[in-house]
Chains A and B, each alone.
Chain A
Amino acid sequence: MRFAFRGELVLALFFTLIGALWMFRALRMPLWDGFAPDSGFLPLVYGVLLAALAAAVLVQLALAKDSSNAETIRKPLIVMGALIAAVAALPIVGFVISVFALLVFLYAGVERLRLLPSAIAAAAITGSLYLVFKAWLGVPLP
């Protein structure tokens, strides 16, 4: 059987690890104080529960037949990457440039729409968001 990437396993594994992390960190906190549970108690319970439940899902998935459909994940990954890049650019080039670039990239690069309408739409959207949040609501956009 060839290796098949199964994202759902990753998801279940992620939750298991997070549960384990919480368990591990909570054990180093005080669990009980006087009459009532202290900071570590419920996080420990949650961590144990999450790790156990997610591990159960993991087992269930591993036993199940591989039913992963062949739907493309290339485009979601590109969109996700573009979002991360835009967030990374926020504090450096500011809101207007990074959001404008994100929109142009998505329209023209990913959706292969023509450049001019893409740029116009991107400018209009960025402009109106800027107006609403910065000018009207006084949000200090970077």
Chain B
Amino acid sequence: MRCLTRLLWLLAALPLAALAQGWKPTKDVEFVIPFAVGGGADLMARVIHKIMVDEKLVPVPVALVNRPGGGGAAGIGYVAASRKGDPHTLILINGTTQITPIMNPNAKTLTEVKPVMNLMLDDFVFFVRADAPWKSLGDFIKDAKSKPAKSMAFSAGGTTDTMAVTVLSKATGVQYNIVSFNSGGEALTALLGGHVQASMGNPLEFMGQLQAGKVRALGVVRDSRFAALPDVPTFKEQGVAAPNFQMWRGVAIPKDAPDEAAAYWEGVMKKVAASPALANYFKENVAQAAPIPSKDFHAFLANQEKLYRELLGK
């Protein structure tokens, strides 16, 4: 049955691919979000959608469709099966979709799409409670080294947070005790409750606590200071030779869509990236705007893939 539908779509898609010269959308566009309604990736897609509609960047209606499941694999699988090569399709992609096939080789994600443009980067910050004895990353590492391995417990709100702790672990040669939680919010609660000594996570979840002085940020895993957190030193500044570690979020179209369509969508996304509405979204979400055009995006993704595999030991 699925083969039949796939065949039908293939037949339907063929003439489209042939006709695409100086491409422009001619029918309704589907913007597929491979994540559940309400998550960070979903909200960003909704903001992008709103900008496309409000600023009339696309001449046809764009419908948002959530196809959640399997760390992005279900949604991308849907695109690969039902909208194969159809350039009237956008897909939101992010670091999680890249990690999924590394962990579960059966799940196919980025190999099934054509990345168009990256839009933002999310940081990882090292937090301790405000009443913790460590004033700097150096203090913490010194203390950790003086104790038996895995004495320091970290709460991590998902695979990417765990990877961030691994970055620290590799750079300092200290083994930490990583406790996995299901969300950044739960990881934060565990830190606030004093169940763990430290936490690594996206600044968004911790921002309210940071401003209220309940937690202290000891470092950020990137090469230069983050403009939104000017007082937080980088790992490198504190003598920890950790690679720049950030999670990306961007937009793709189906793998077999014509290059002209990719160029068209890149043009649209450039306008989206320039919109003040998106800048505002990044500001509120403590994220960094990072428009990476498609020619650099592929190299960037290949780099990330290498780093992720190294961190995950796969």
Interface on A for B, CB 8 Å cutoff? 35, 88, 91-92, 138, 140
Show 14 A/B contacts (Cβ-Cβ < 8 Å), sorted by A. A35-B150, A35-B177, A88-B1, A91-B1, A91-B2, A91-B5, A92-B1, A92-B4, A92-B5, A138-B63, A138-B64, A140-B30, A140-B63, A140-B65
A-B interface, 9 closest residue pairs, ranked by CB to CB distance from nearest: A140-B65, A91-B5, A91-B1, A88-B1, A92-B1, A92-B5, A140-B63, A92-B4, A138-B63
Shortest C-beta distance, A93 to chain B (Å), equals: 11
For B2, what are the chain A residues with a Cβ–Cβ distance below 8 Å? Answer: 91
- Category for how many chain B residues contact A: 10 to 19
Cβ contacts under 8 Å, B63 to chain A: 138, 140
With A35-B150, A140-B30, A140-B63 given, can you name 11 additional A-B contacts, CB distance below 8 Å?
A35-B177, A88-B1, A91-B1, A91-B2, A91-B5, A92-B1, A92-B4, A92-B5, A138-B63, A138-B64, A140-B65
Chain B residues within CB distance 8 Å of chain A: 1-2, 4-5, 30, 63-65, 150, 177
Most buried by B among A88, A92, A140: A140
Cα A92 to Cα B65 in complex, Å, equals 19
Please name the residue on chain A nearest to B175 by beta carbon: A34
Instruction: Quote the shortest CB–CB distance from B291 to chain A (angstroms).
Output: 29
The CA of A82 and the CA of B2, in the complex, are separated in Å by: 20
Inter-chain contacts of B4 with A (CB < 8 A): 92
A140 vs B30: C-alpha distance when bound (angstroms): 10
Q: State A100–B5 Cα separation when bound (angstroms).
A: 21
Q: Which residues of A contact B177 (CB under 8 A)?
A: 35
C-alpha gap A138/B150 in the complex (Å): 49
Beta-carbon nearest neighbor of B178 in chain A? A34
Q: Which residue of A lies closest to B5 (CB)?
A: A91
What distance in Å separates the Cβ of A62 from its nearest Cβ neighbour in chain B? Answer: 39
Nearest Cβ distance between residue A87 and chain B, in whole angstroms? 11
**Which residue in chain A gives the minimum CB-CB distance to B4?**
A92
Question: Closest Cβ of chain B: how far from A31's Cβ, in Å?
Answer: 17
A60 vs B21: C-alpha distance when bound (angstroms): 72
Q: A88 — which chain B residues lie within 8 A by C-beta?
A: 1
Chain A, Cβ-Cβ closest to B8:
A92
Which chain B residues border A92 with CB–CB below 8 Å? 1, 4-5
In the bound complex, how far is the Cα of B175 from the Cα of A35, in angstroms?
13
**A138 to B65 Cα, complex, angstroms:** 9
Min Cβ gap B174→A in Å is 15
Give Cα A133–Cα B58 distance, bound, in whole angstroms: 26
Docked CA distance A101–B64 (Å):
29
**Complex Cα gap A86–B4 (Å):** 17
The smallest C-beta distance from A78 to any residue of chain B, in angstroms, reads 22
Chain A residues, Cβ within 8 Å of B65: 140
Q: Smallest CB–CB gap between A112 and chain B, Å?
A: 31
Distance between A137 CB and nearest chain B CB, rounded to angstroms = 11
Residues of A within 8 A of B5 (CB): 91-92
Complexed CA–CA distance, A79 and B150 (Å):
58
